[in-house]
Chains A and B, each alone.
Chain A
C-alpha cells in the first residue's frame, strides 16, 4: 500500500499544483485578456513565447532552467542579489519552473474564451459608461468563466503530472521537492513495481475524480442556460 513517503509526495504534489494553478490564474488571465484584445505588433511574439515551453522536452527545459536559475545564470544572480539564494532544489524553484511549463495550458483556454465573446458586450457596457476595469471585472470575466475553469483544470492536472522539469531541478528532497511523479519513477527504477502500481493507481483515481467532478459541474451549468460566448 502507500508508504509514509508516498503520502508526503502526494501532499507536496497537491500543494505544488494548487499554488501553481492559483498563480497562473492571477498572472495568466490579464495576459490572456491582453492577447485577445491587443492590436500591438508584440501580439505574435508574445503568443509564441507563451507556447514555447511546449516544444522543448521537459528534461531539456529543466536542464536549461537549472543553468538559468543556478549561481552563474541570470536569474540565479538576481535571486542571490536580493538574498533569496538560488532556486533549484527548493519548493519556490519548482513553483517557478511549473509556472513556465504550465503557462500555455492556462493562457490559451482563457484567451479563446475571451475571443469567443467578441467585443460587443464590452462596447455596449462602454456606451453605458462602464470603465475598462468595470467591463473586465463584470462583463469579460463572468462570460469567460467556462474557459477559466478549463484553464484551471488543465493547469492543475498538468502540474500534477509534471515530471521531467522537476526531475532536473528538484534534487529529490523528501517533503520539499520529491513529488508523486518522481516517487513513482523511483519505485519503477528500483524494481519496486508493486509500490509503483499503488501510487500510480492513487494518482489516476484522484485525477480522474477531480476532472470528472469539474466536467460534470460545467455540463450542468451549461444545461441550465449558462453558456459560453455571446
Chain B
C-alpha cells in the first residue's frame, strides 16, 4: 500500500467510511437472511416460575433461531398489563382464573391453553429444632407465626388455607397466620426467621430431588385442590406476526426436555393439557 495513501485524515476517514459501510452491509445481510425464520417474542411469566423458565428459554434458544424475552411479575399485574395492550405473545399464569378471564375477554387463543405445571406445597422451616418435626410443630401449635401466601391472590395461598382447614387447624392458627403478598414474600418471612413455619411452593427450595436448605414436610396433595398453572398464547401474537415463533416455543415447552426441567424444580407436569376444575371455592 503506497505510503501517501495513509497520509491526511480525510483519507483515514474515507477508509473508515468504507469499512463501516461494509460492516453495516454485512450486518444487514446477516439480519435479513434468517428474518423469514426467526423472531423475538416476549412472554409474560408469573414470578414463581422464573427459574425454570430461564432454563427452558435457554434450551429453546439453543435449538431454534427464535429468541424469547421474559417479562416477570405477579399474575395479577401481568393480567392487567395484557388487558391494556402489553405486547406479550404468551402468558404463563400462576393460576387458571386469569387465563380463563383472558379467554372470556377474547384476548387469547383458547385452543392453546396448557397446564404447564402443577405446583406442590411444602411446610417449610429454617429452625433446626423443628427439622423433621414440622408436622408435629404445626399440629401442637409450637410456633409463633405461620406464613402463608395471600389466599385471595396466590393459588399457593388458597391451597395452604385448604390444608389448614383439612388438618382442622383453622381456629388454632387464625391469630398466628401472617400473609405474604406472594409466595416469594412468604418464603422471606420464613427464611428471615420471623415466621417459624411457612407453607411455600416446593419449587422455591427444591432442586433435583431434594430440599436445598431448611427442611420441610411435603404436604400431601390430597389435602388441597391441585395448584394448576396455566399458559396461553395471546391473540396479540398473531397480530404482531409472531405466531410461528410462539408455536415453536409451545412445541418445545411440551417436549421431554422442558418437562424434565419443570420436574427438576419440584413441579409436577400435567398428564393431559389443561384440566379445568373451575374456581377453587366452587366445590
A residues neighboring B (CB under 8 Å): 63, 66-67, 69-73, 85-86, 88-89, 167-168, 171-173, 182, 185-186, 188-191
Contacts and interface: CB of A to CB of B under 8 A. Distances in A.
A66 B178 contact: no
A66 B181 contact: no
B264 interface: no
Contacts of A182: 181
Contacts of A67: 192
A174 to B, nearest CB: 9
A63 B191 CA distance: 11
B64 interface: no
Given A189-B153, A190-B152, A190-B153, A89 B178 contact: yes
Given A89-B145, A171-B179, A172-B178, A191 B76 contact: yes
Contacts of B192: 66-67, 70, 72-73
Contact of A186 (B80, B153, B177): B153
Nearest to B145: A89
Interface in B192-210: 192-194
15 contacts: A63-B188, A66-B189, A66-B192, A69-B194, A70-B192, A167-B181, A171-B189, A172-B150, A172-B178, A173-B177, A186-B153, A190-B76, A191-B76, A191-B79, A191-B98
Interface string B72-97: 00101101100000000000000001
Contacts of B144: 85
B194 to A, nearest CB: 4
Nearest to A167: B181
B179 A168 contact: no
A173 B144 CA distance: 14
Interface of B: 74, 76-77, 79-80, 97-98, 101, 144-145, 147, 150, 152-153, 177-181, 185, 188-189, 192-194
Contacts, number: 63
Contacts of A70: 192-194
A173 B145 CA distance: 12
Contacts of A171: 145, 147, 178-180, 189
Contacts of A71: 193-194
Given A70-B193, A189-B76, A173 B179 contact: yes
B191 to A, nearest CB: 9
A139 B176 CA distance: 51
A71 B128 CA distance: 14
A190 B280 CA distance: 14
Nearest to A67: B192
Contacts of A69: 194
A167 B74 CA distance: 14
B113 to A, nearest CB: 18
A63 B208 CA distance: 28
Contacts of B179: 171-173
Nearest to A168: B185
Contacts of B180: 171-172
A167 B185 CA distance: 9
Contacts of A167: 181, 185
